[in-house]
Every structure is written in C-alpha cells, then in structure tokens.
C-alpha cells in the first residue's frame, strides 16, 4: 500500500552518490565512513531536519549526543521496545518497518541523513511502533530522552524541526489510508513507485537511469506485495520494453507507457 509520501521518501533513497563517497579522509570508522564527531564542524551537513539547526543549537546538541557507527543490516530498535531516546542519522540510510502477526513486513519510510529516528515514541512516551534497520553502513547520534526533551525546551528552532518531522509522518499516515482505496492493482502500485523514482533520475539519449540500492524484496515491502510478484512484473515490463531493473540500475525506456499503467 504505497503512498505518495512513502514513494517520494523512497525515491530520495537511491539518488546520487553520497557527498562523502569520493572523499579521502584520514580517519574512518570500521565500516568505511569518515568519522564525524561534532555537528559544529561537520562537512556533510545538509538542509535536512536537524542538520539545519542554528550554530548555537548545534553546539548544545553536540554536548548531549553520543555518536556510533553501525554496519549494514544492524537493528537500531524494534517494535514494542521502550524508547530510551532518539537517533539522528548523521550518515547512511535506514528503513523503518512494521510487521504483522503472520510475518508480513511493510517498509513505511526510508530515513535519510539529518532525520530523526524514534521521535514520536520519545515525545509521546510510548513504546516504539516501528523497527529500524540500517540499509547501509550508518553513523547515528543517540540522544537520551530526558536530555532531548530539555534540549527542545531551550531551542525554538529545534522544536520547529520536530513539528515538521511529526507533521510529515502524519501526512504519510493520511496517504497510506488514501492509497488503500485508490490503488487497483499490484502493477499500478509498482508503476507509481517507478515513476516517482524516475523524477530523480538522469536522462541520457531518451532513457531515464536511476541508481537503486533496494532488493526486489525491499521494493515489495515498500508497496505491500510479494517479492515474487515484483520480480514477475519487472520481468514483464522488461519484455514490453517499458523499463528494466538490472543490478543497481533502473532504466526507463518508455515513461509514457509507465504513466499509463500507473493511471497517471
């Protein structure tokens, strides 16, 4: 049950190479990430969420955070676990999932650098409603719940970023409900996802190419269908010369056909 917000969020997941990917650094973590201990002098900082704090807020944030590196596939926290604090994604990406009693997993969002994990649970005081797992080596900054709440009380710009973050999550929930009634088929869901990814791709001689870092299983978990269905539909789209997902590259040859399948 993919949503517009989920799809846009997922589309940012595969975009261009990481800004640090081609840089040489003297110090690296065991997972190949350049070590960044302080927000104040971070060269990886973007305009996304907590990276956009004022210099004063970044300085005070440095005083209460604890930074650690995680390998790909590491579990940060799980559904039902008490919220001890929040995690700011400094580098890398992580998937936020929920799992049904019968074991079906749905990816609700892909968290990017600068975003906060566990925010809703910390603010509301309830257990985590989602499981977070790293999709690639990550550097996360942990802030204990009590320290984070005090930090928000002292910094208005941080409160504004938190409000925006929670509002976006709320909008994502609205979109989820809306998409349940509007998506008519698995092919339509997949086509909509591919179209959103196409918006972030590069055009070369009429072909849109996008770099992906998602398996068929993870694509299926984003739109709420089985991996076998995703594999079958991608194979069919390739035979019809609409698009192809080969390795980590998505090539879209006929965007108009994809739009027709998506009901756009």
Q: What's the domain count of the chain?
A: 2
pLDDT tens by residue, 103-161: 888 888 888 888 899 999 999 999 999 999 999 899 999 999 999 999 999 999 999 98
Does residue 15 share a domain with residue 76?
A: yes
Is-above-0.85 flag for pTM?
no
**181, 213, 228 — which closes off a domain?**
181
**150, 181, 212 — which closes off a domain?**
181
Match 């001689």 to its residue by tokens: 205
CA torsion, points 53, 57, 63, 65, in degrees to nearest 10? Answer: -30
pLDDT tens by residue, 180-219: 557 778 898 899 889 888 887 889 888 999 988 788 999 9
Gap between the Cα atoms of 195 and 201, Å rounded:
10
Question: What are the two backbone dihedrals, phi and then psi, of residue 53, each rounded to the nearest 5 degrees?
Answer: -70, 160
| Range of the structural domain that residue 168 is part of | 4-181
Does residue 256 share a domain with residue 153?
A: no
Does residue 135 share a domain with residue 24?
A: yes
CATH number, domain of 151, equals 2.60.120.10
Does residue 256 share a domain with residue 209?
A: yes
Query: Could you tell me the two tokens for 134?
Result: 């790293």
**162, 181, 200 — which closes off a domain?**
181
Does residue 204 share a domain with residue 176?
A: no
Residue 203: enclosing H or E segment and its boundaries? Answer: strand 202-204
Does residue 124 share a domain with residue 213?
A: no
Does residue 247 share a domain with residue 133?
A: no
């Amino acid at each position: 049950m993919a949503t517009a917000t989920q799809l846009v969020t997922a589309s940012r997941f595969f975009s261009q190479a990481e800004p640090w990917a081609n840089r040489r650094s003297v110090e690296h973590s065991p997972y190949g990430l350049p070590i960044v201990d302080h927000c104040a002098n971070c060269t990886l900082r973007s305009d996304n969420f907590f990276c956009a704090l004022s210099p004063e807020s970044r300085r005070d944030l440095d005083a209460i955070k604890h930074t650690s590196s995680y390998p790909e596939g590491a579990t940060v926290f799980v559904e039902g676990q008490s919220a001890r604090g929040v995690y700011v994604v400094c580098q890398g990406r992580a998937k936020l999932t929920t799992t049904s009693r019968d074991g079906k997993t749905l990816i609700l969002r892909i968290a990017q650098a600068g975003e906060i994990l566990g925010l809703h649970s910390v603010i509301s005081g309830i257990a985590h409603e989602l499981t977070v797992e790293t999709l690639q080596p990550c550097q996360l900054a942990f802030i204990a719940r009590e320290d984070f709440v005090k930090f928000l009380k002292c910094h208005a710009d941080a409160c504004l970023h938190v409000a925006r973050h929670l509002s976006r999550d709320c909008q994502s929930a609205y979109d989820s409900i809306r998409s349940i009634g509007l998506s008519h088929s698995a092919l339509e869901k997949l086509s909509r996802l591919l179209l959103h990814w196409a918006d972030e791709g590069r055009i070369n001689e009429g072909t849109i190419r996008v770099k992906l870092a998602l398996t068929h299983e993870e694509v299926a978990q984003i739109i709420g269908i089985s991996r076998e269905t995703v594999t079958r539909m991608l194979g069919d789209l390739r035979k019809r010369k609409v698009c192809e997902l080969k390795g980590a590259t998505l090539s879209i040859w006929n965007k108009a056909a994809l739009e027709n399948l998506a009901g756009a």
